[in-house]
Every structure is written in C-alpha cells, then in structure tokens.
Amino acid sequence: MLCGAFEQVILMYINRLFNRHYSQARRYFKQQNKYIDIFCELEISDERLKTIRPLLISCYELSRSIILLGDKQYSNEATILSRAYIERLVNAAYLLVCDKQEYKNWYLYTYKQEYKILDNVTSKMGVTFGSKLINIDKIQLDKELEEAIKHYTSQKGRDITFWTSKSIDERIKIIHERSEIAYEILIATTHIFYSKASEALHGTLYGCAFHIGIFDPTMRNADDYQIKRYMDDEMAFMYYSLGTLLHTVFDLINEKIDIKDIISQMKNDLYRITKRFESFSSCGTGGSFRAVFEKNEGKS
C-alpha cells in the first residue's frame, strides 16, 4: 500500500496537482507525528527502542516547526528542516538494525562532543578562537570518554566530525537488508528533499530559489498566483512524504515491539488521504513529466 500510494503521489506532484490537497496533506503530516507521543508513553524495556526516543521526540518538534514555516510560505526554510527530519528518522531506523559496534559509536560520538564543549579551541587561517574550561587538564577522564576521544580523532590529530562512516544511502541499504519495511520510501524521500535542502544550506543560487519554481521549465513567465500554487505543491508533497516516511519507520519499530494499534491508525490515515488522490490517478498523461518510481530487482 505504501509504495503504490507514493507512486501515485509523485505523479500528482510532478504535474502540479498537489496544491489543491494542501490542507489535507498538512493535517496528515500533523496527525502522523502525534503518534510519536503515543509511542513515547509506552513502557519499553528494549534498549535500542529507548535510544531512539530522543530522535523521535526531536522529529515531533521539527514537524511543528516545518508546519509553522509552511503556513507562512517559508517553504525554502521548511525544506532545510526536512533534511534534519529525514536524517533523524533514518538514524532511528538504522540504530534498530545496525551492529553492536556501530550502536556503541552512537554514544561514543556523543561523549566526545560533550567533552569538546569543555575544550573547544581551534586555529584556522592564523586565527585561534573558542573556549576552554579552566583547569581542564586536572579533570580525570573516564574509560569511555578516553575511548571516544581516541575513536573520533584522526591519525593527524583532527576531529572526526561524523558519528558514522556510513553515508545515508549506505544506512538505508543496511536497513533494507535487515528489515521488511518499504525501504523505497526512505530512498525516494531522501533523494527528493535531502538534496534540495543541501543546496539551500550550502548557499547556491539554486538552493536559494528552487522553491518558487524559477528553474522549472513549466514555470516560465509564471504570475504570482502560479508561484503561490507551486509553493503550495512543494509544501503539500513534503507533508505527505515526511508523514509517510515516519509511517515507514514505525513499521520497523513494529517489527521489534507490538505497536499494532498505532500502525492500524497510521494505515487508516494513509488510506483516507490516498482515497482523495484516486481521481487523479491518470493525471500524468497530459503533463510535461512522467513519474518514475520502480524497484530494479538485483540492482543496488
């Protein structure tokens, strides 16, 4: 159901028919994130499920920020936040299936970053700046902190600034290999939004202006109304995609612990919003683009 619905939604999005469902997509995204609260109230003994709770809670907070920005038509800024939302959910899923050493690295990196706050002096281009705790040399480092500092310091003495050496695509591949979830949703959502958010963060011209459609060949000579519809399309599709991504991660959680009641409600929400799209199932026949969303068996 997830992949079939997502393919239909991509078809709507590329042919600019999503704007008419903006309020429903917004409601769907908001509702999906409310299930995070329900999950976090459950009594859970599994260590890894406890570990991902902060990530899920932070995603709930991010969802509220994304909606606030969308309501004010700050879709570029909302896209930037979508990158954090996506990576936190991918990390949450990855932590449920990764090996023991990688799981340990998650905490080692946190210890190292905590220590770095105490000794945060650096030199660049002839300028030394930062802060350092007075008498820090007298602090006795525990074994785990020593291990963390060693693990996340390169042979040249530089900080290693990523908690894992696995790229986001590599993490998704491992999630796919070790679970039964619709990993295609993770791949598609990451590809569509993560790259746009990266452009915006890096300050490229494309990243500063993609959200108003000036690079879309179908938007040449667009008036203010058409630009508004384009921005609504971007936000509505984002709401749907991020909500469905969260649904996919909850499917993985359901493989670890019985949360069938939550999954049932999420499926009902997905069914209701998908039913609203059915009348547009053939909308791509006259559009400028066609949807491509397929699984190539035997290819990585």
pLDDT in tens, 242-290: 999 999 999 999 999 999 999 999 999 988 887 776 544 434 333 444 4
Q: pLDDT of 126-179, one tens digit each?
A: 887 777 666 666 666 678 888 988 899 888 888 888 999 999 999 999 999 999
**For residue 192, which amino acid is it?**
I
For residue 125, the SS3 value is coil
Per-residue H/E/C for 150-176: HHCECCCCCECCCCCCCCHHHHHHHHH
Nearby residues of 230 by Cβ (< 8 Å), 6 or more positions away: 16, 19, 212, 213, 216, 219, 222
Q: Is residue 14 predicted with pLDDT exceeding 60?
A: no
Please, which residues have CB within 8 angstroms of residue 274's CB and are 6 or more apart in sequence?
Answer: 1, 5, 8
Structure token digits, residue 269: 């929400």
**Structure token digits, residue 234:** 């971007």
Q: What is the structure's pLDDT at 159?
A: 83
In this structure, the number of other CB atoms found within 10 A of the CB of residue 68 comes to 13
Q: Give buried/exposed letters for 215-232 (b at 16+ CB in 10 A, else e).
A: eeeeeeebeeeebebbbb
**pTM value > 0.75:** yes
Read off the tokens for 255.
Answer: 């493989």
Q: How confident is the model at residue 65 (pLDDT cuts 50, 70, 90)?
A: very high
